Amino acid sequence: MDGQSQTGGTLLTVEDLAVSFSTPYGTVRAVDGVSLQVQRGRALGLVGESGSGKTVLARSIMRLLPRRGVDTTGRVFLDGIDLTVRSPKQMRAVWGSRLSMVFQDPMTSLNPVLKIGQQVAESLRQHRQMSRHDSRELAIKLLDAVGIPEPAQILGRYPHSLSGGMRQRVTIAIALSCDPVLLMADEPTTALDVTVQDQILDLLQEQQHARDMGMVLITHDLGVVANRTDDIAVMYAGQIVEQGPTPVVFAHTKSPYTSALLQSVPRIDNPPHSRLEVIRGRPPSLLNPPSGCRFAPRCLRAQERCSAELPPLTPGPEPGHLFRCWYPVDAPSVPLESSTTRSA
Ligand SMILES: Nc1ncnc2c1ncn2[C@@H]1O[C@H](COP(=O)(O)OP(=O)(O)OP(=O)(O)O)[C@@H](O)[C@H]1O
Ligand SMILES: [Mg+2]
């Protein structure tokens, strides 16, 4: 039996997921003990700098990582089904029909030599066993729903003849074509023109609400998730450093890393031409991550304990809020637990 009952509205549960790659230089621990949940009909923003493990986490949830040279531990439940024990054949039944993904660059997910109509209809025929006529009708409806003008004409065109924004709308239509319960969108707008980015994000949000879907929206930009997600998980060097309901994480930020990310987001109330703070230093190598807190070498608040002991994820006073820090930002500069005395 691979099915397990889930509590109430939980759609996705990730338990202690770890992913390592064997490389000629050693083992890269790209995801290190991540646990999170997505509630039915809610959007989770997964945020972190480049290289923090967001894509590896998303792909391991979807079981899209190659098996060779990749070691994955932990469990992933979607709607009560343990995906980690599914065979590749069983996974094919889950992709598209329950779980879909939108990638950063629409050209990588569209086939350049097939017309748009063939690609949308192919997905419908494969997952829904629809007739040619019905799949064409539904393809037109789907393209219309994602804001594509003259959808019937677009069916006969090739991907390269569409703008980047239109191509991403097509991949979203394909991802939605089988009514997934969960949509994973991995930096869906970074390859697009800034003027189109908001439109695509609005479209995703609109569809997520209309379909009561769960969504994981992956981005390096906290500004993107501020008004578009219900919950946030902030990743740093393969680990979650802060998570909770979006308004709580913004209003009661505890992790100095989240705080630094927030200061690097442009804000409308900043005076014109004011400098954005950039987080000093670089993310650590995941071949030899620093001991203790992984952010310590870059953290302005770090003290001796930080490089010695990895802080656990600790609950904040607000429900659902967790953070990983010995000296959280709005706290006085004393350790959370006074178990060790700091040297002067
Ligand atoms: N196939 C692989 N083999 C070895 N290391 C890998 C492999 N894929 C990813 N990594 C490493 O895993 C870490 C996490 O990568 P990942 O692509 O998940 O980051 P990310 O947060 O999605 O970054 P970005 O914002 O740039 O997309 C990086 O250090 C990366 O170099
Ligand atoms: Mg990525």
- For 263-316, the DSSP string reads HTS--TTSPTTPPPP--SS-PPPSSSPPSS-TTGGG-TT--HHHHHSPPPPEE-
Residue of minimum CA distance from atom 24 in ligand 1 = 50
| Residue 332, amino acid | P
Which residues, at least 6 apart from 311, have a Cβ–Cβ distance to it below 8 Å? 293, 324, 325, 326, 336
| Contact predicate 257/236, CB 8 Å | yes
pLDDT at 5 (0 to 100): 40
Which ligand is nearest to the Cα of residue 287, counting in written order? Answer: 1
Residue 128: per-residue pLDDT? 76
306: CA distance to ligand 2 center in Å? 27
Q: Residue 55 Cα, ligand 2 centroid: separation in angstroms?
A: 4
Classify 193 as helix, strand or coil. Answer: coil
CATH number of the domain encompassing residue 17: 3.40.50.300
Residue located nearest, by CA, to atom 7 of ligand 1? 21
Residues 286, 53: Cα–Cα separation, whole Å: 10
Provide φ and ψ at 3, rounded to 5°.
-85, 145
Q: Is residue 1 part of a domain?
A: no
Q: Which atom in ligand 1 lies closest to the alpha carbon of residue 104? A: 27
Ligand 1 — pocket residues by CB below 6 A?
A: 21, 23, 28, 30, 48, 50-56, 220, 286
Q: What are the residues whose beta carbon lies below 5 Å from ligand 2 (ion)? A: 55
Using CA positions, which residue lies closest to atom 17 of ligand 1? 55
Which structural domain range is residue 206 located in? 10-98+180-323
Would 21 be classed as within a structural domain? Answer: yes
173 within 8 A of 142, measured Cβ to Cβ: yes
In a domain, 168, yes or no: no
Residue 128 lies in a domain: no
Residue 267 within a domain: yes
- Please name the amino acid found at residue 179: D
Which residues have a Cβ under 8 Å from the Cβ of 47 and sit 6 or more positions away? 54, 218, 219, 220, 221, 222, 225, 232, 233, 234, 235, 261
* pLDDT tens for the 344 residues of the chain, in order: 344 444 448 999 999 999 999 999 999 999 999 999 999 999 999 999 999 999 999 999 999 999 899 999 999 999 989 999 998 888 988 887 899 999 888 777 899 999 999 999 888 887 777 888 888 999 999 999 999 999 999 999 999 999 999 999 999 999 998 889 999 999 999 888 888 899 999 999 999 999 999 999 999 999 899 999 999 999 999 999 999 999 999 999 999 999 999 887 766 666 666 555 668 888 888 998 889 999 999 999 999 999 999 999 999 999 999 999 999 998 555 444 543 433 33
Is position 105 within any domain? no
Ligand 1 pocket test, candidate residues 52, 57, 102, most atoms within 8 A of CB? 52
pLDDT value, residue 1: 38
Tell me, yes or no, whether 3 lies in a domain.
no
* Ligand 1 atom at minimum distance from 56 CA: 18
**Burial of 97 from C-beta contacts in 10 A (0-12 / 13-18 / 19+):** middle
pTM of the model: 0.90
Tokens for 330, please give them: 């709005």
Residue 129 lies in a domain: no
Domain count, the chain: 1
Q: Any idea which ligand is nearest the CA of 59?
A: 1
